Chain A
Amino acid sequence: MIALKDVTAVIESELVLKSINLKLAKGKVHVLLGPPDAGKTTLIKVILGVWPFISGSIQIDDLELTDQTQSQVARLMGYVPSDCLLFPHLTARDNASMVANRGLGWLKYKVQARLTELCDLFSFEESHLTFYPSELKPDERVKISFIRALITDPPILIVDDPFTPVNPYPKLDLQKRFRSLLGQTNKTVLFATSDVPLVHELADHVIFLDRGQVIQIGRLSEMVQSPEVPFVREFIRMQKAGLGQGRG
């Protein structure tokens, strides 16, 4: 469960999140929808404790997010960043397993077993685990990011639109695997995207974000039928028609 109460964030003296109130229910898939500069990534980084917020509070399960609890809170969440960033000096295996080694004391064989399981799930060639990020294909980097996020089987999964840099065919395959993953697990998921068809298939709840503010929370169909502001419907229609990223 993730609960945000009146969260306001300022970055470089610019108000980037305005009084966000959110409650993400356990085991549900929540999609953060909105145009590129809506503040989706900012909100995710604030929830992860990477970027600071100046007022309000964030509660993750039983923990309140503070400077002291940040790493504890971050460990409750598997995170797939938008650019699928991996440490360039570590192999795919080290990148994926470093999270399992963060004080959990997992034995080598356990890490290996989990890696094999996840490689199967994402159909990642296990021999490529010895590759460095620069040697991996874009879709393989996305897979490693997912494996890294899931290796400790955290209760919360935060995914920040990782499919953008991937070519259409592997992208479809990745999305398929992601869908089946979501179907199998009971994780609380926060998934940021501007891909409306995907939202339609996956989302239990959609959170529409624009200019650092939550505009509407609900189902996608509700947003089309009775939008809070006309831009919500307009954005969703344009996305469906593949007409670009929103406000024109």
Chain B
Amino acid sequence: MNQSFRGLAALICVLLCTVPCVSQDAKDVAVTTSSIKIGCLASTDSLVMAEILARMAERSTALNITRAYQYQNAGELYTALQKGEIDVAPTFTRELNLLLLKEKRPKDIKILKSQLKKKKLEISAPLGFEKTMGLMVLPAAGGLRDIQKISDLKKISTLRVAVGLDFQERSEGFSSLNRLYGLTLEEVKKDSEHLTEDWLGKENIPLAVLDRTDARVEKWNLQVLEDDKRFFRKNEGVILASKKFVSTHADVWTLLKTLENKMSDNLMCRLNAMVEFEKKILTETADIFLDSSQWLALAQKRPVPDRVVGNPVQEYIRETRPVWTQLWYLSKEHLSLVLIPLFFAVIIGIPLGLLVYTFDHLHDVFRYSANLFQTIPVLAGLCFLVVFLGLRNESVSAAAFLYALFPIAKGTWFGLKKREKRFVELGWSLGLSSLQMLRFVHLPMTMGGVLWGIKKGALHLVALVTLTALVGTGGFGKLIVLGLTLKDIPMILKGALAVSLLAILIRWIFEFLEWLLVPLVYQKEDEWDEI
């Protein structure tokens, strides 16, 4: 047993050699002190606002601007701000209310300000636009042309309203709307992404609930009905910054604050439409806005710097680098997210397999729990860990580690089990040294199973890490998630294609290793797949 363990340790060494790319990655994250880090949620409004802030800072100072546009929820964004991972972020008052005051109804911004002060964060005055939901009339609905306010709808009999799936979460629900206004509207739920003009026309739906800054408001020329009884919760755009940033870069903060009360819902609709429908890149959109804003007393225009430390998404947005450079950066990020948990899964998984093999009675328990664990959908498993460990990269790595651990332990166990007893006995009866036993008997017969386990683990991880972009990690999943947010098909395809290629590449690497390390007579992949 001891001999097998020593042999398998050799394999671990091979894997160790792959780790340097991880440390390289860490270097890239380190940012110089004279830089400003701007973060935001991966939604179009936030991305546009963040890029405007970034370009303002970039055009008026010589500071290095780093963009971190991958955050998936407000909690994560605030944590990043508090930890100093980012300095500035555009955000919305509804989310701040929910998170800080645990209040669904909006509170005065002064209360927010005092709460934020305790958390060493600074907030700007409202920027002027509201990402508040609104009830809108489609221009095709001719009979509703004279309606200005929601309460005016009372005069009309039952109407159908298209509602995004996030409506319930962001309001009191549809029945409350009807109750408050005394209406008899009928709700038609549809995934917000698929609320298209064609679909609405086909379904003959005259009304829709959308954000007032949604790009579709401008594109379809929707008329926003006045919410005279204040049903929809106010959700104003603001800038959030860390205290440290405000004190060190007071000039930049003052500059960013010039945006206060300068932006309207219509303006945001226009900017969003530029990104979503006209497929303008964020930087270009931000520049168009800044160039047309005469009231902004900006310093002379500066060219876009050649070398920017930061986020691959930003590099994508800029499109100043060739595609393969962006993909290389992302693949390094993706691989580091795969290799670190895989490395630990190998370190723990192989001894675990040995343990289960040694104590045979553990096997049933082990096999059952491994199968049970793998029954849990990846995303659900991830959610459990996020709840227990918090929304951090560590939770993602812990989930990834667990998903890779069992296949590796299983493969090791099966490899050991599949060693033919007669060959082991032959080795003993020939008086082979322990090194020879390892080289001629244990390793050739066990290696197939171990490699099978590591391959399975690695492929699970590639898939899992892609999914974890949903909770804000990096890698190719980020391209897919951001692409979905921006409705950018090429971006989604780029991410999906890269992940597929990476998985195929990993498979090939393991097939090569198998060819190299496992004698032909012991290559029994079909058998492994039956485990």
A: residues with CB less than 8 A from B are: 45, 48-50, 70-75, 77, 79, 81, 85, 87-90, 98-99, 101-103, 134, 148
Contact = CB atoms under 8 A, between A and B. Distances in A.
Given A75-B431, A89-B520, A50 B425 contact: yes
A49 B428 contact: yes
A47 to B, nearest CB: 10
Given A89-B444, A89-B521, A102-B430, 4 more contacts: A79-B429, A89-B520, A90-B440, A99-B432
Given A89-B520, A89-B521, A98-B436, A148 B430 contact: yes
A49 B436 CA distance: 17
Contact of A70 (B428, B441, B520): B428
List of 6 A-B pairs having minimum Cβ-Cβ separation, nearest first: A74-B431, A89-B519, A75-B431, A48-B429, A88-B521, A71-B431
Contact of B440 (A73, A74, A87): A87
Contact of A87 (B426, B428, B431, B433): B426
A77 B430 CA distance: 8
A124 to B, nearest CB: 19
Contacts of B422: 85
Most buried by A among B428, B431, B432, B521: B431
Contact of A102 (B431, B444, B519): B431
Contacts of A81: 426, 429
B522 interface: yes
A114 B430 CA distance: 18
Contacts of A103: 433
A90 B426 CA distance: 14
Contacts of B426: 81, 85, 87
Contacts of B429: 45, 48-50, 74, 79, 81
Nearest to A76: B431
Contacts of B512: none
B423 interface: yes
B521 A71 contact: no
Q: Classify the interface of chain A: helix, strand, loop or mixed.
A: loop
Interface size class of B (residues with CB under 8 A): 10 to 19
B430 A74 contact: yes
Interface in B422-474: 422-423, 425-426, 428-433, 436, 440-441, 444
A8 to B, nearest CB: 20
B423 A71 contact: no
B430 A89 contact: no
A71 B433 contact: yes
Interface of B: 422-423, 425-426, 428-433, 436, 440-441, 444, 519-522
20 contacts: A45-B425, A45-B429, A48-B428, A70-B431, A71-B431, A74-B428, A74-B431, A77-B431, A79-B430, A81-B426, A81-B429, A87-B423, A87-B440, A88-B519, A89-B521, A98-B436, A98-B440, A99-B432, A101-B436, A134-B521
B413 to A, nearest CB: 21
A104 B432 CA distance: 11
Given A85-B423, A88-B521, A98 B432 contact: yes
A77 B431 CA distance: 9
A244 B432 CA distance: 37
B440 A71 contact: no
A76 to B, nearest CB: 8
Nearest to B444: A89
Contacts of A70: 428, 431
Contact of B430 (A72, A88, A99): A99
A75 B444 CA distance: 23
B293 to A, nearest CB: 74
A126 to B, nearest CB: 22
A70 B427 CA distance: 12
Contact of A71 (B428, B444, B520): B428
B346 to A, nearest CB: 24
B426 to A, nearest CB: 5
Given A85-B423, A87-B423, A90-B440, A102 B432 contact: yes
Nearest to B429: A48
Contacts of B440: 87, 90, 98
B2 to A, nearest CB: 13
A101 B519 CA distance: 21
Nearest to B424: A50
B432 to A, nearest CB: 5
A49 B432 CA distance: 13
Contacts of B436: 98, 101-102
Contacts of A71: 428, 431-433
Contacts of A98: 430, 432, 436, 440
Contacts of B520: 89
B420 to A, nearest CB: 9
A134 B520 CA distance: 12
Nearest to A73: B431
Contacts of A85: 422-423, 426
